[in-house]
Structure 1
Amino acid sequence: MIVLHRGLLVVAGLLGASGVAAAAASSHMVDSRNLSAIAAVFLSHGPALLAVGLFGRSRSFAFSGAILALGTLIFGADLALREFLSAPLFAGAAPIGGGLMILGWLGFALSGAGLAKLKK
């Protein structure tokens, strides 16, 4: 469990730094919708993962964080590759990443409501 929390903290830091970099780059590049989207997604999900890494006590909450982190990384990587290489990460990467992000957030809701319990 400690390894998962530390991993979430690492991903949170990387998302925060990358989100700020994407925001700066999007303000200097012409019509960069992908970089603006990366900035918005990373700067909103990074703090959520930071909170889970620091305060998430249950396995279901940590597992939801891992799903959110994976989805965010897939989504952001796909947008970045489209922006800089004009090629996707893989076919359907953005919707898969987006779907995982939605599942992660729903997992938080279920965990918070006490409906999702993973044995310790």
Structure 2
Amino acid sequence: MHSDRFLLGAGGLAGAAGVVVAALATHAGGAHMQTASNFLLMTAPALLAIGLMATTRLLRFSGFVLLAGLILFAGDLLARDYLGDRLFPYAAPIGGTLLILGWLLVFISAFLRPQRG
């Protein structure tokens, strides 16, 4: 079984950020903070699991796609609340599309034979 420390660390960071953003949403408000927190907290366990398992290249790649989508989606929502503007046009929809793609890649990787090593 392979592991990916980067994805494992990213999962831990996403979980911590999700808790921080949830606390800020409760105490400071913000129209998009709770949604960003939810996505951080629901994607963190997936990144942890992928980081620990990484049984195929496709599964590992799916983790990076999920991470990129999470950064764009949650980052854009938080930028709207904190900066008053988007990261860039269509950042959230691109991030959301990457999240969907990442989850579909996880699904597909379930049917691939694990790599030995």
Whether TM-score is above 0.5 comes out as: yes
* Residue from 36, 45, 48 that aligns with 1:47: 45
Unaligned runs of 5+ in 1: none
- 2:72 maps to 74
Aligned: 1:100 with 2:98? yes
Q: After TM superposition, list the pairs within 5 Å mapping 1:19-58 onto structure 2.
A: 19-30=18-29, 32-58=30-56
Instruction: Kindly provide the CA deviation profile for residues 63-82 of structure 1, in whole angstroms up to 9, marking residues without a partner as x.
Output: 01110011001111111110
Per the TM alignment, residue 29 of structure 1 is displaced from its structure 2 partner at its CA by 2.4
Per the TM alignment, residue 56 of structure 1 is displaced from its structure 2 partner at its CA by 2.1
Aligned-partner SS, 2:32: helix
Q: Percent identity?
A: 40
- 2:109 maps to 111
Count of residue pairs the alignment pairs up = 115
What one-letter code is carried by the residue in structure 2 that aligns with 1:74?
L
Instruction: Kindly provide the CA deviation profile for residues 28-63 of structure 1, in whole angstroms up to 9, marking residues without a partner as x.
Output: 124x23110111000000110000001121101000
- Whole-Å separation in 2 of the counterparts to 1:110 and 1:19: 27
State the TM-score, normalizing by the size of structure 2: 0.90
Unaligned runs of 5+ in 2: none
- 1:18 maps to 17
- Whole-Å separation in 2 of the counterparts to 1:79 and 1:14: 18
- 2:5 maps to 6
Across the aligned residues of Structure 1 and Structure 2, the Cα RMSD in angstroms comes to: 2.1
